[in-house]
Each structure stands twice: as structure tokens, then as C-alpha cells.
């Protein structure tokens, strides 16, 4: 028994018996006369404090209830063999795909069942750490031998909507396993994660795989572009079908919750279908793509997109001319690009000012102005210092250091194959930060705010690198312009993937902002540090609004931007359960703990508790028999009682 102290409760048995032997304090019930009762009553006894113990079903039932409850409280168990070590790290996958519903049951519910089973199989004296893993790890209970607490933690697990990443959970499990050589890591998952941890675990890993179905389709992409000078809105939608069978799904397009388009898309197995829709009204603010009907995973059946503003920004490219740069900038829908040579820079600014159409951004290609402009500027291959800092010696063939993929400037930008022939060493001014550095720490790409204006830098000329030939080039330029140019749509990107944090620059005068989930109204307050704030990745699909928190200056509630959060994760939408061996192989391969004759405790207190409850019900029924008679009499009310009816009909005398 796990809790033998509970057997102290057996003392209650003689107490119950003694209670029955004590003369009861009876309730006075007035009757018209005891004339008839006196002929019946057997239990009239002397007024002694104790009476003879008589057989009573009530007593028997109460003794049984007490006995069952005491034994159950002592938590009896059977010893069974176990394949778990003494220290178990239980990782439950709570990524978006675990919200898949199969045969009316969610995958996360199946995971809970499996997790409970693991806890029930803990070896004698074993302890468990319960961890959930979505895009990061969350410890629910740590290194406990309290199975009830572990079970309660498992009961509270719910699936999230964010893409899964087991890296954090495995790192945590690895650390826990390192503390105790007798450890087992159990992962309850559908094993469909794209990203697996790069490091292994020094302990055996068991995988409890859940899930069977693959019947899911997803809105894989949704984007809105303005064309024809902003006069036309083009909506691009892609619907993927990761399942093994061809399907036809109805795609519905809503503009501000009003249905504006619906069409059936035939999607071959493991492919995607795309649609270009031009029926989005000009005045719409939010567009939603929705797959009608049900499939296995609901979270990827909806996607949102914000309609971009129609206003364009005049951009001035100053330099000797660069086709790659001009094409990349001209592709950006927000920019209305003008180009001028280095000598015409000042005149161009004056002419624009006179015309009342000032430039919103200036890009200096291998040119440095005498005075920095009063608008955001991007410097490419500067030969001299300016607002970004000072320029030093020439760097020959600088090798790139590893880049941070989480940096918003490098979103969708892969610089792993970038080669730079020559660059300039730059000492960055205050307010600037490097985005891409050489292995020696020289900034190659940098961004920041100097004197309140955005400043960007590529410390190498495009012609001195193969960047213009990279797919990443237009994306990098787009990200740089977005970072430098305050968007009329706000400072947030128009779309973001679930779970992906957003780092944005903010007016330093603002101290606190709040990320508000529009659908639920839930808001998360964030501190602005040095004019920058990192908004945690949204956890649910829908719109997120970044607002100024009221600090008494009257700017509270002002929106700084809005973004649409979507899943857009092929790995999560592909709900087909993966190969558990991929995860199992990350663990130590060796003899299982069961080979060493480990034992586990299988508790069987719950049948006792259940039997106790049933007996409690029986006891209640026995005790309330008079009440049942009263109810029966009430039901008969309106008719003469049975005794009276029988008497008046059969007992009356007849005249002679």
C-alpha cells in the first residue's frame, strides 16, 4: 500500500458499531394513540445507555463503506513489471496537429490517455516530470512521485495552434536525464514534426504515437497585392491537400465578414491548388479565406489577410545606376521609384519640395551625401561615413558569420550561399545594430535609428557580391525598406505565422504597448526598451492589434499596426502520423530498463472507491425508506388510502 497510514481509518469500524450499540436519541413522533402500536413493538427496552447489537443492513452497509474507503485511501497496488526507468520525463506534444479530430476524438485526448497510462506504469519509487511541447517546452510538474499531481497536470493539457518544435523539450529532457542515469524519456506525439532536435538524449526514448488519419486540407497561403497603381486588389490563395486522396473543397472568401467569392477547388493528393481572386472590394479591410465543411484539423481551414493601404511612398535612388537595385526596388508595391545621379541629388530634393511631393526614402548606391537626408535612408556600398557611422578599411572576401533566422530583417532570406568579394569595415553609429556580420564581427548589413530616422546599411557594393543573383536579394530589400519606412498600415508586418515573434521599432516616447488579440479581446502588455519591442508570436489564428497603453499622455488605445496570424505550416497541416523511429533514434540505444527487472505499481484503489460510492447510494436508499413511503402516499393523494377503501367496501356490516 502506498499510504499505509490511511489504515488508521479502520478505527472508524468499531466506532460505527459502538454507535449502533448506543441507545439512539429517538425523534418524538406524536400519534393519536399507541393502542395499536403497543401490540407490535418489539424493541421496547429499558433505558440503558447500551443496547444489544442487532442485525441491521444499514450497519453492514456502513461498515462496508468505511472499510472500502479506508482501503482505497491506503492506495493498494499490484506490482507489475515495467519498461520505464525510475526517472521518467514525459513529453506531450501539444502542437497544432495534435488538435486533429479522428473518429470524434481529438488527438490530444488520445495523448492524454497514453500519458495517463505511462504515469500508471511508473516503477515503484519512480518519479516523473511532465512537459508539454509546442514551439517551446512547458514544465507542468517537475520530478514528482505524486502520481495524482502528475495525472492532474495531464488532465489539464490542451492542444495549441502553434507549429511544433521538440527542440526545447528535448534539451530539457536531456538535462534531466543527465542528472539521473536511470532515466527514460517518453514522447507522446503524432510524430509529424518537420523540425527535429539536432541533439540526442543520453537516455532511452520511447515514443507513444497517436493518430491515424491523414484527411486534412489547409489554406497554405493567402496574400493581397495592389496592382494597377492600387486600383485593383488581387488575392492569391493556395490550398494544400497533404492527404493521399484527391479531394474537392469549397473555398469561401469573406471581406469584412461578408461572403464575396466561393468556388470549388479540386486538389490532387499531396499537391495544392491556387486561385487568384479579383473580386475583393476596394473598401475592405480584412479578407478571410475559409474552407467550407469539416476535415481533421480545423485551425488551418481559415486564414486572414489585411488589405494593404493604397498610398505609395516616393523613393529616390541616388547613384551611378544599378539595374539590379532598380528592379528590386521597383518591385516593391509600396514604392514609387525615381532615380537620379549623384550630382542631381540636391536639385531633385528641391524640386520635390517645391512640387509638394517630398521623397519618403532615399537610397544611396555607392554614394554618400554631404548632409544626411531628413528622411529614412539606405546606404549601399558607401565609400565614406555618414549617419550610419564611419567607414574604415577595405575587407577582402569577408566570410559571413551565422545569421539569426529569427531576425525580422532576415525573414525568408537565406544568405547561406552569399559571397562577398569586397566590403568596407564600418564602425556603426549609436542606434545602429548589425544584422549580418563577418566572422570577424564586421557589420555587413545593419539597421537602426539615428536622430529619429531609420538608417540602413549594406557595407558592400552589390557589384562586389553575388547578392543580386540570389533569390534572397529582393526579399532582403523588401525587409530593409519595410524596416526603414514607417508603414501607413502600421509597424507590424501584414502577416505573421503563429508562434513567430515580431520585433519592431517604436517611437521611444512610447513606454508600453499591448498586443491585443482582436477576436477574443485578450491583451498582452509589453515594455518598450530602447525604442524596440518584441511582440511574442500569436498563439491563435486571427488578427493582432498593437496598441499604445495609456500612460496618461492621452495616446492610450492608439493602434500602431495590425497583423494577421495564420498557421501556414505544411508540417502541421500534414497530419499523417510520422515514423516514431525518427524520434526514438534521438535517444540512447541500449537495453531497456525492463530487462533489468524493473517493477511498477498498478494501483487498484478506484474500484474500491467506486464500490464504496455504490454502497453509499444503497445506504441512502435504506435510510430513506420512510421518505419513499411518503412520496408514494403523495402520489396516491386524491384517493382514499388503501386501508380505508378496503375497509369501507369489505368490512361494513350488513343489516339483518
**Is residue 48 at the binding interface for other proteins, with CB under 8 A as the rule?**
no
Distance of CA 432 to the CA centre of its chain: 34
Q: Which residues of 136-151 are buried (b: 16+ CB within 10 A; e: fewer)?
A: ebbebbeeeeebeebb
CB of 45 to other proteins, least distance (A): 8
Contacting residues for 646 by C-beta, under 8 A, at least 6 apart: none
Nearest to 503 by CA among 482, 519, 522: 482
Residue 33 binds to other proteins (criterion: CB under 8 A): yes
Which of 5, 31, 370, 589 lies at the binding interface for other proteins (CB under 8 A)? 31
- Judged by CB under 8 A, which stretch of 109-117, 218-226, 539-547, 623-631 contacts other proteins? 623-631
> Would you say 475 and 502 are in contact if contact means Cβ atoms under 8 Å apart?
no
Q: Is 520 in the site for other proteins (CB under 8 A)?
A: no
For residues 55 to 84, the per-residue mask of contacts with other proteins, x marking binding by CB under 8 A and - elsewhere, is: ---x--------------------------
| Closest CB 540 distance from other proteins, rounded Å | 58
Can residue 647 be called a binding residue for other proteins (CB under 8 A)? yes
Residue 24 binds other proteins (CB under 8 A): yes
**CB neighbours (10 Å) of residue 251?**
21
Query: Is 53 a binder of other proteins (CB under 8 A)?
Result: no
What are the start-end ranges of the E strands in 292-440?
A: 302-306, 313-318, 335-340, 361-365, 377-380, 389-396, 422-428, 432-437
| Rg of the Cα atoms in the chain | 38
- For 287, the enclosing helix (H) or strand (E) is strand 286-291
Nearer to other proteins, 16 or 526 (CB): 16
536 near other proteins (CB under 8 A) = no
Task: Tell me if 465 sits within 8 A of 421, measured CB to CB.
Answer: yes
Binding test (CB under 8 A) with other proteins, winner from 341, 392, 452, 640: 640
Contact 134, 94 (CB under 8 A): yes
Q: Specify the residue, 34 or 79, whose C-beta has the smaller distance to other proteins.
A: 34
Under the binding rule (CB under 8 A), the answer on residue 50 touching other proteins is no
State yes or no: residue 626 binds other proteins (CB under 8 A).
Answer: yes
- How would DSSP label each residue in 225-277? EEETTTTEEEEEEEEEE-SSS-EEEEEEEEETTEEEEEEEEEE-TTEEEEEEE
Task: Kindly state the smallest distance separating residue 138's Cβ from other proteins, in Å.
Answer: 54
Among 32, 125, 552, 597, the residue binding other proteins under the rule CB under 8 A is 32
Q: Which residue of 15, 44, 355, 370 would you call a contact of other proteins, by CB under 8 A?
A: 44
Asked if 46 touches other proteins (CB under 8 A), the answer is: no
Question: Which of 30, 104, 356, 597 is in the footprint of other proteins by CB under 8 A?
Answer: 30
Please state, in angstroms and as integers, the Cα–Cα distance from residue 435 to each residue in 203, 456, 475, 483, 546, following that order.
38, 10, 14, 12, 24
Q: Which of 49, 104, 554, 653 is the binder for other proteins (CB under 8 A)?
A: 653
Indicate whether 589 belongs to the interface with other proteins (CB under 8 A): no
29 binds other proteins (CB under 8 A): yes
Contacts with other proteins: how many residues (CB under 8 A)? Answer: 43
CA-CA distances (angstroms) from residue 45 to 50, 51, 340?
A: 10, 8, 120
- Cα first-last separation, the chain: 81
CB atoms within 10 A of CB 420: 23
Residue 622: CB minimum distance to other proteins, A:
9
Q: In angstroms, what is the minimal distance from the CB of 147 to other proteins?
A: 41
Under the rule (CB under 8 A), what is the footprint of other proteins? Answer: 24-41, 43-45, 58, 623, 625-626, 629-630, 633, 640-644, 646-648, 650-656
Amino acid at each position: 500500500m502506498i499510504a499505509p497510514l490511511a489504515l488508521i481509518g479502520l478505527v472508524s469500524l468499531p466506532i460505527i458499531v459502538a454507535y449502533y450499540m448506543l441507545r439512539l436519541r429517538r425523534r418524538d413522533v406524536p400519534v393519536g394513540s399507541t393502542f395499536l402500536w403497543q401490540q407490535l413493538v418489539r424493541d421496547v427496552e429499558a433505558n440503558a445507555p447500551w443496547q444489544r447489537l442487532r442485525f441491521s443492513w444499514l450497519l453492514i452497509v456502513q461498515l462496508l463503506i468505511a472499510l472500502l474507503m479506508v482501503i482505497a485511501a491506503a492506495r493498494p497496488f499490484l506490482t507489475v513489471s515495467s519498461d520505464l526507468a525510475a526517472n521518467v520525463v514525459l513529453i506531450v506534444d501539444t502542437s497544432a496537429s495534435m488538435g486533429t479530430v479522428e473518429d470524434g476524438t481529438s488527438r490530444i485526448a488520445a495523448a492524454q490517455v497514453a500519458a495517463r497510462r505511462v504515469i500508471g506504469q511508473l516503477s515503484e519509487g519512480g518519479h516523473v516530470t511532465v512537459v508539454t511541447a509546442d514551439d517551446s517546452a512547458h514544465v507542468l510538474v517537475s520530478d514528482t512521485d505524486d502520481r495524482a499531481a502528475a495525472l492532474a497536470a495531464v488532465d489539464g493539457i490542451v492542444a495549441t495552434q502553434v507549429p511544433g518544435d521538440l527542440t526545447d523539450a528535448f534539451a530539457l529532457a536531456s538535462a534531466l536525464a543527465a542528472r539521473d542515469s536511470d532515466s527514460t524519456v517518453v514522447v507522446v506525439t503524432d510524430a509529424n514534426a518537420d523540425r527535429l532536435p539536432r541533439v540526442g538524449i543520453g537516455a532511452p526514448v520511447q515514443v507513444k504515437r497517436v493518430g491515424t488519419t491523414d484527411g486534412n486540407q489547409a489554406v497554405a497561403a493567402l496574400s493581397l497585392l495592389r496592382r494597377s497603381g492600387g486600383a485593383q486588389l488581387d488575392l492569391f490563395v493556395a490550398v494544400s491537400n497533404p492527404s493521399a486522396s484527391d479531394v474537392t473543397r469549397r473555398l469561401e472568401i469573406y471581406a469584412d465578414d461578408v461572403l464575396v467569392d466561393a468556388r470549388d477547388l479540386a486538389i490532387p493528393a499531396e499537391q495544392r491548388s491556387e486561385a487568384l481572386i479579383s473580386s475583393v472590394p476596394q473598401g475592405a479591410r480584412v479578407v478571410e479565406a475559409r474552407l467550407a465543411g469539416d476535415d481533421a484539423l480545423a485551425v488551418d481551414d481559415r486564414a486572414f489577410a489585411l488589405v494593404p493601404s493604397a498610398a505609395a511612398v516616393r523613393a529616390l535612388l541616388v547613384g551611378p545606376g544599378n539595374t539590379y537595385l532598380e528592379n528590386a526596388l521597383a518591385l516593391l508595391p509600396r514604392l514609387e521609384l525615381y532615380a537620379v545621379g549623384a550630382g542631381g541629388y540636391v536639385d531633385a530634393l528641391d524640386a520635390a519640395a517645391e512640387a509638394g511631393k517630398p521623397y519618403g526614402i532615399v537610397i544611396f548606391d555607392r554614394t554618400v551625401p554631404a548632409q544626411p537626408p531628413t528622411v529614412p535612408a539606405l546606404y549601399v556600398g558607401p565609400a565614406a561615413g555618414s549617419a550610419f557611422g564611419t567607414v574604415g578599411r577595405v575587407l577582402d572576401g569577408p566570410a559571413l558569420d551565422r545569421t539569426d533566422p529569427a531576425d525580422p530583417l532576415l525573414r525568408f532570406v537565406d544568405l547561406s550561399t552569399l559571397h562577398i568579394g569586397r566590403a568596407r569595415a564600418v564602425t556603426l553609429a549609436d542606434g545602429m545594430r548589425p544584422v549580418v556580420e563577418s566572422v570577424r564581427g564586421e557589420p555587413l548589413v545593419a539597421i537602426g535609428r539615428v536622430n529619429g530616422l531609420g538608417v540602413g546599411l549594406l557595407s558592400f557594393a552589390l557589384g562586389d557580391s553575388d547578392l543580386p543573383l540570389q533569390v534572397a536579394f529582393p526579399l532582403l530589400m523588401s525587409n530593409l525598406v519595410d524596416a526603414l519606412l514607417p508603414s501607413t498600415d502600421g509597424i507590424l508586418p501584414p502577416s505573421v505565422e503563429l508562434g513567430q515573434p515580431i520585433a519592431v521599432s517604436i517611437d521611444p516616447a512610447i513606454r508600453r504597448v499591448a498586443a491585443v488579440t482582436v477576436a477574443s479581446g485578450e491583451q498582452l502588455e509589453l515594455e518598450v526598451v530602447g525604442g524596440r519591442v518584441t511582440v511574442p508570436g500569436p498563439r491563435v489564428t486571427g488578427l493582432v492589434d498593437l496598441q499604445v497603453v495609456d500612460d496618461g499622455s492621452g495616446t492610450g488605445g492608439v493602434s500602431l499596426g495590425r497583423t494577421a496570424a495564420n498557421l501556414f505550416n505544411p508540417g502541421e497541416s500534414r497530419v499523417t502520423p510520422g515514423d516514431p523511429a525518427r524520434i526514438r533514434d534521438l535517444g540512447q540505444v541500449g537495453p531497456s530498463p525492463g530487462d533489468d527487472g524493473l517493477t511498477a505499481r498498478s494501483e487498484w484503489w478506484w474500484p474500491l472507491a467506486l464500490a464504496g460510492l455504490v454502497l453509499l447510494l444503497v445506504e441512502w436508499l435504506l435510510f430513506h425508506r420512510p421518505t419513499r413511503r411518503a412520496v408514494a402516499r403523495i402520489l396516491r393523494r386524491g384517493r382514499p388510502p388503501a386501508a380505508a377503501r378496503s375497509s369501507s367496501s369489505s368490512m361494513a356490516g350488513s343489516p339483518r
